[in-house]
């Protein structure tokens, strides 16, 4: 799931008017506003996920990626109005196939298996035959289960994907609204910073 953060041409023009005589600075100002908006939205998305999933916000952030807007692409020259009106955007990507390991859902080893709390709206559940929390000999941290009756191979158990949560909660329209609002704020911040520099 991709969320595009794209600056409005009217806002580009506002910045360009302030930077009259130094058009080479425009791409950097646009990139700062767009990238700061995208970065802020990662935290907003993680907070929405945390309303549903019983895990840390730092864990949830790892399932969202920002593809930043580069101020100037290789070989590109900026002169006057040449930069205005083109599509300059960053992307916020919610990974489609990245499921969160059960070790992030408050695992507790019990005799029947590992107990975890995945959803905030539900109680803890036990995965029969699973094990793992606090076992130093395992090659990776996690909650594991044997495949078959032998000691190995082992299967690492995972919980839901944040992409599934994002889609189920219909957050696309919410993302568009939030990024649009934040981008206006970031543009205003850049304008105030430019005015301060200009004295």
Assess contact for 115 and 125: CB atoms under 8 A.
yes
Q: What sections of 126-171 are H helices per DSSP?
A: 162-168
Judge if 127 and 186 occupy the same domain: no
CA–CA separation, 99 vs 155, rounded Å? 14
User: 196: pLDDT confidence band, cut at 50, 70 and 90?
Assistant: confident
Number of other residues whose CB lies within 10 A of the CB of residue 106: 15
Task: Note whether 12 and 58 are same-domain residues.
Answer: yes
What digits encode the pLDDT tens for the residues 123-176?
Answer: 999 999 999 887 767 767 889 999 988 888 989 999 999 999 999 999 999 999
pLDDT of residue 23: 67
Is the pLDDT confidence value at 84 over 90? no
Domain that holds residue 119: 101-158
pTM: 0.85
* Domain shared by 94 and 79, yes or no: yes
Closest CA to 24 of 68, 74, 77: 77
Give residue 72's pLDDT. Answer: 57
**Amino acid 28: pLDDT:** 85
| Residue where one domain finishes, among candidates 143, 158, 173 | 158
Number of domains in the chain: 2
Other CB atoms within 10 Å distance of the CB of residue 149: 5
Backbone angles phi, psi at 8, to 5 degrees: -75, 140
91 and 182 assigned to the same domain: yes
pLDDT tens per residue across span 175-185: 999 999 999 99
User: C-alpha angle with apex 18: 13 to 22, nearest 5 degrees?
Assistant: 100
């Amino acid at each position: 799931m991709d969320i595009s953060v794209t600056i409005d041409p009217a806002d580009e023009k506002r910045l360009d008017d302030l930077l009259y005589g130094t058009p080479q600075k425009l791409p950097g100002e646009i990139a700062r506003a767009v990238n700061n908006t995208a970065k802020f939205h990662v935290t907003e998305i993680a907070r929405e996920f945390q309303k549903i999933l019983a895990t840390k916000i730092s864990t949830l952030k790892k399932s969202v990626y920002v593809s930043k807007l580069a101020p100037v692409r290789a070989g590109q020259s900026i002169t006057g109005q040449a930069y205005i009106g083109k599509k300059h955007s960053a992307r916020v990507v919610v990974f489609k196939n990245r499921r969160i390991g059960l070790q992030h859902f408050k695992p507790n080893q019990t005799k029947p298996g590992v107990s975890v709390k995945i959803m905030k709206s539900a109680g803890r559940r036990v995965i029969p035959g699973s094990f793992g929390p606090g076992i130093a000999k395992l090659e990776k941290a996690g909650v594991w289960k044997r495949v078959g009756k032998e000691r190995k191979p082992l299967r690492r158990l995972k919980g839901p994907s944040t992409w599934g949560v994002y889609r189920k909660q219909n957050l696309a329209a919410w993302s568009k609204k939030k990024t649009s609002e934040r981008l206006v704020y970031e543009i205003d911040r850049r304008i105030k910073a430019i005015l301060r520099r200009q004295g």
